[in-house]
């Protein structure tokens, strides 16, 4: 099998060491990639530093053209790349295709943001002492960015590091997850077709042992990390003087209000919750984990939900009908199995699922989960949900907020006043009304509060995180 190169300063490098990537589902060899060493990492960082003066002043047309090219090429190669994502990640092909589609949009949005990244004018003569003065407020790259991406969205979460960096004029050194590097390396192949200056980007799938040195390197003043809570906060503690953007975990809740009592409403809500509590095998930080249903409809709704969870097609990710595939490895699946067992030992009832076969965990719905069970308090990151009843809005909003995480929540209601109250009172970064918390549009600000992270993804908002404000005041103007 041909070894996929990594990319240093926009050029392919084969290195001296290789790694194989195997399917989490059946162990099939998916690809072989070259592994960068210390010298390659150093070359990538040095090139990013050298490129900064050029990327900061690169024209909007050049940035946008490169981003548009990547978007178009991803669309052209969508089938091939979706197959690769499914192979290395175990993601069912239906979700892999959706991920490629999102990455196409992510780069397209970045191109549009690059074109309008103009700053703002402020009249200062609103104060009599500032007559004739005008401020031009613009943003400039704070420095080279270290992007560290996770395994669960091996293309689109890479896109959310790389695309805003290019749009903002910030060089980026990307370290994709060692479990799923191949999709990021294909993106590197496409980026190499653009006219971006050397050093403006590198894709180095380094082993995790190199990460602390990359994080500590003073030449990379901005770090954008998506991954686990423990690793994210360890990075933040290690480099308190750096700008660290963290997109961490979640414990997402879906609330079904009493006014969702019609058969059509309950069917819609149950179908969405069943699917998005288990898509990606639950390996999404906004997959539904906690389900709260008003007591007036909880019995009927739970029956509908359990039936829909039980019928989710599970198995071979290459099968177009498969909704739930394997977890990333057997250790992850065994952990989830043990958390289910812990909940059951504490008194929880398994309404459906609860079993494991290798890397595949059956979509699981639990009731009567103890308040201290990991399935309720931690991020499961697997295909497991719990369902519980509530009586009042105060009660359920308190339950949703009773978590150290605060990424997104879903509220199924037709009451617009209640929707605004949810946005005001729920301690999360996003409230999705009439749908699951798993909904995300890639251009919107995405991120959380509490232990779900710091900063925002979503193109323009990430560009703000990667840049500093500079103000220029013009004097003596006739305004």
Structure tokens at 350: 């398994």
Are the C-beta atoms of residues 185 and 206 closer than 8 Å to each other?
Answer: no
Q: If 0-12 CB within 10 Å is exposed, 13-18 middle and 19+ buried, where does residue 469 land?
A: exposed
Asked if residue 448 lies in contact with residue 457, where contact means CB atoms within 8 angstroms, the answer is no
Copy the structure tokens of residue 322: 């498969």
Residue 431 structure tokens: 């409230």
Token pair 């040195």 in the structure block, residue = 213
What is the three-class DSSP state of 142? coil
In sequence order, what are the beta bridge partners of 446? 457
Of 229, 285, 375, 379, the active-site residue reads 285
409, 450 Cβ separation under 8 angstroms: no
Q: How many CA atoms lie within 13 A of 90 on its CB side?
A: 31
Burial class of residue 328 (count of CB atoms within 10 Å of its CB; 0-12, 13-18, 19+):
buried
285 catalytic per annotation: yes
Phi, psi of 466 (to 5 degrees): -90, -5
Write phi, then psi, for 231 (nearest 5 degrees). Answer: -70, -40
Distances (CA, A) of 415 to 193, 412, 475: 50, 9, 52
Task: Please confirm, yes or no, whether 17 is among the known catalytic residues.
Answer: no
Task: Output the CA–CA distances (angstroms, integers) from residue 295 to 251, 265, 299, 349, in the order listed.
Answer: 22, 16, 8, 18
Catalytic residue among 88, 113, 247, 379: 247
Question: For strand 349-352 and strand 364-367, is the pairing parallel, antiparallel, or unpaired?
Answer: antiparallel
H-helix or E-strand spanning residue 138: strand 134-141
Q: Which residues are catalytic?
A: 247, 285
């Amino acid at each position: 099998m041909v070894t996929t190169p990594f990319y240093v300063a926009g050029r392919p490098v084969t290195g001296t060491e290789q790694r194989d990537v195997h399917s989490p589902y059946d162990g099939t060899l998916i690809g072989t990639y070259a592994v960068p060493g210390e010298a390659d990492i150093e070359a990538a960082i040095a090139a990013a530093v050298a490129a900064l003066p050029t990327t900061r002043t690169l024209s909007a047309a050049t940035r946008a053209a490169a981003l548009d090219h990547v978007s178009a090429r991803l669309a052209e190669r969508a089938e091939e790349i979706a197959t690769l994502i499914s192979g290395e990640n175990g993601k069912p092909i239906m979700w892999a295709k959706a991920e490629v589609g999102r990455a196409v949009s992510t780069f397209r949005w970045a191109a549009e943001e690059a074109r309008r990244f103009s700053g703002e004018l402020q009249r200062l003569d609103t104060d009599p002492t500032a007559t004739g003065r005008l401020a031009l407020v613009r943003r400039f790259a704070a420095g080279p960015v270290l992007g560290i991406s996770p395994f669960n969205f091996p293309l689109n979460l890479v896109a959310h590091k790389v695309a805003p960096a290019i749009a903002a004029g910030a060089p980026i050194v990307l370290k994709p997850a060692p479990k799923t590097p191949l999709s990021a390396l294909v993106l590197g192949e496409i980026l190499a077709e653009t006219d971006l200056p050397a050093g403006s980007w590198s894709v180095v799938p380094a082993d995790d042992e190199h990460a602390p040195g990359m994080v500590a390197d003073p030449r990379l003043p901005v770090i954008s990390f998506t991954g686990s809570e423990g690793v994210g906060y360890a990075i933040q503690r290690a480099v308190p003087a750096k700008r660290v953007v963290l997109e961490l975990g979640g414990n997402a809740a879906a609330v079904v209000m009493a006014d969702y009592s019609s058969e059509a409403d309950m069917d819609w809500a149950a179908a969405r919750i069943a699917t998005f509590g288990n898509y990606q095998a639950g390996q999404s930080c906004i997959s539904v984990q906690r389900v709260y249903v008003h007591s007036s409809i909880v019995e009927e709704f739970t029956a509908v939900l359990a039936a829909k969870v039980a019928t989710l097609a599970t198995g071979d990710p290459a099968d177009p009908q498969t909704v739930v595939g394997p977890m990333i490895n057997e250790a992850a699946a065994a952990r989830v199995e043990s958390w289910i067992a812990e909940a059951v030992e504490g008194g929880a009832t398994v309404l459906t699922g609860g079993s494991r076969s290798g890397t595949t965990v059956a979509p699981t719905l639990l009731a009567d989960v103890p308040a201290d069970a990991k399935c309720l308090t931690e991020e499961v990151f697997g295909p497991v949900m719990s369902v519980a009843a509530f009586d009042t809005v105060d009660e359920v909003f308190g339950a949703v907020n009773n978590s150290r995480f605060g990424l997104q929540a879903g509220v199924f209601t037709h009451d617009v006043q209640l929707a605004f109250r949810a946005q005001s009172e729920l301690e999360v970064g996003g409230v999705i009304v009439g749908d699951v918390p798993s909904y995300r549009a890639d251009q919107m600000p995405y991120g959380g509060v509490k232990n779900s992270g710091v900063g925002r993804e979503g193109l323009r908002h990430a560009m703000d995180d990667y840049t500093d404000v500079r103000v220029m005041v013009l004097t003596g103007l006739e305004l």
